[in-house]
Structure 1
């Protein structure tokens, strides 16, 4: 059952739980929206688990690009899991309450997994850049050791960037309300509730967004500019198409993730005339849509994965 915001005789208080408002303004469509979100979540789990199983079982896929995919798949599954169960409980059962510590934990997971996702997409762009622009050095540069080190760096980066945001919120002495104008525990949405100066939180949030969204996207774009230059320098049209096709899955993936992230970021700050439910739905899609699409994009567009999938179904 839904619990109301905590009552207090004071103007500020320290809440034991938060109330997530869900997606206000379209409550009549909750069942329809929940079906879409639930279907997206199920497809995300099944697609990423299947992709991970295919890569793990096939020695032909034990190559740098597919190792990146085997890291991306569990991260996608965990990212969608960090938001969907609670979101569905709001839409299905009107269960808007989330404990204070659970809220901080969800916040940490969501922002950490998005940070890791962005970093993995950058690593995959670098992999394509080396494969196309410096093919003779590919085997010496893109080693398993390098990929493992990158994965460790990305996890450390996520903790270093997201950890201070969580710590700052946990140290706020009081809050003005415990009603969160969002469907999940987003950093700034929670920080705005504090009865304290949140300028540090705002600056830190922008720094994290710039580091993850800005820097990663910048280097991905630079990598693809170099790739396009190399591709269009090839003398044969067939060679250009074949080389370009190897990049299409990753381009679709990073455009869906960073495109939604950028649109959400800009609309939230500058789209003042946009209804709140549009902001919230966009934020939900940013976390749910890419994890669902990624395994299908790679499964459909990557020849080696298609071949391994066919072998699995032929044996069955």
Structure 2
């Protein structure tokens, strides 16, 4: 590439988001499942927030953490879906460089924050089952708020270096991002510099979040299972373990999706780019959509309150 061409892309004022590369002619059709997921996620998570606020019996640590999870899921969808749909519907591909880095920051924040809340929910289940008499004194409203703040700060601190590092790199190859939004690796891979610092830091965040959080969750559930197996009857064991069912489903949805994306990124070189991008985006967006459905279906208090709202007769 000539020097004049290189200079055209050095610190570009805008990036071009390609959407789903190779499937540009099908963008309108692809918008249908993505838009449906967006609507379901928005309605589902706002419903969770509304029901927990209106139902006094749900004013407990587990449901406060569930509300935090709903807010994080809403933040994830709001940070990327409007731009994705504008690409699919209106071919609006340009995004300002600063806006791209801002989108990257808010999107990247969601993984450590969501994982942190799931870890906090595992701690809540551990205390509720292994030390039920002290549950209300250990997990007070003040402690729950501090845990939420700690999760928020951890997410911000771990994520902030990503856009800061991305901003310092010179971009001289192209300004076309082969994705429908600004991900960390999607942006820095366009830099004409040694980006190993960014790559290694992204890997460090992934290992830090998944390694530490999954380890803590695994230890918590080991202790939970030990306590459950000590219960005298099968019904008691089943009922107690049933209080963890929604949390286990939410954990599975998030970490299985993250592992699938990680494996495809590292071992999917022979997979067509459009398939890789499409499946990866669906894996990222599925857990925030599924979380309110999981808790709505499996949690009796939420289910009953929702049914009362839907069947309530007017005056």
State the TM-score bracket (shorter-chain normalisation).
Answer: over 0.9
In 2: Cα distance, 1:39 partner to 1:289 partner: 11
Partner of 2:64: 67
Do structure 1's residue 285 and structure 2's residue 300 form an aligned pair? Answer: no
Aligned to 1:9: 4
| Unmatched tracts of structure 1, length 5 or more | 1-6
TM-score by length of 1: 0.93
Query: What is residue 171 of structure 1 aligned with on the other side?
Result: 168
Aligned residue for 2:130?
A: 133
Conserved 8 A contact 1:80-1:287: no
Structure 2 counterpart of 1:114: 111
Q: C-alpha offsets along residues 71-124 of structure 1, whole Å, 9 cap, x if unaligned?
A: 111211111111111111122222221110110010000011222111111111
3-state SS, counterpart of residue 185 of structure 1:
coil
Alignment of 1:32-181 (within 5 A): 32-181=29-178
1:295 aligns with 2:287: no
Tell me the CA shift for residue 8 of structure 1: 7.8
The residue that corresponds to 1:239 in the other structure is 236
**For residues 126-183 of structure 1, what are the alpha-carbon distances to aligned partners after superposition, in whole Å with 9 as ceiling and x for unaligned?**
1111111221221121111111111111111111111111111112244321111222
Cα distance between partner residues in 2 of 1:244 and 1:200 = 43
User: Cα RMSD between the aligned structures?
Assistant: 1.7
How many angstroms apart in 1 are the aligned matches of 2:170 and 2:143?
A: 44
Give the Å deviation of 1:33: 1.9
Distance 1:86 1:222 in 2: 40
Would the aligned equivalents of 1:260 and 1:286 in 2 still touch at CA under 8 Å?
Answer: yes
Q: Distance in 2 between matches of 1:295 and 1:217?
A: 21
TM-score w.r.t. length of structure 2: 0.93
Residue 3 of structure 1 is matched in structure 2 by none
Q: Distance in 2 between matches of 1:211 and 1:146?
A: 23
Q: How far 1:22 moved relative to its partner?
A: 1.3
- Please name the residue that 2:268 is paired with: 271
- SS across alignment from 1:177: coil
* Residues 1:183 and 2:180 are matched in the alignment: yes
Match of 2:19 in 1: 22
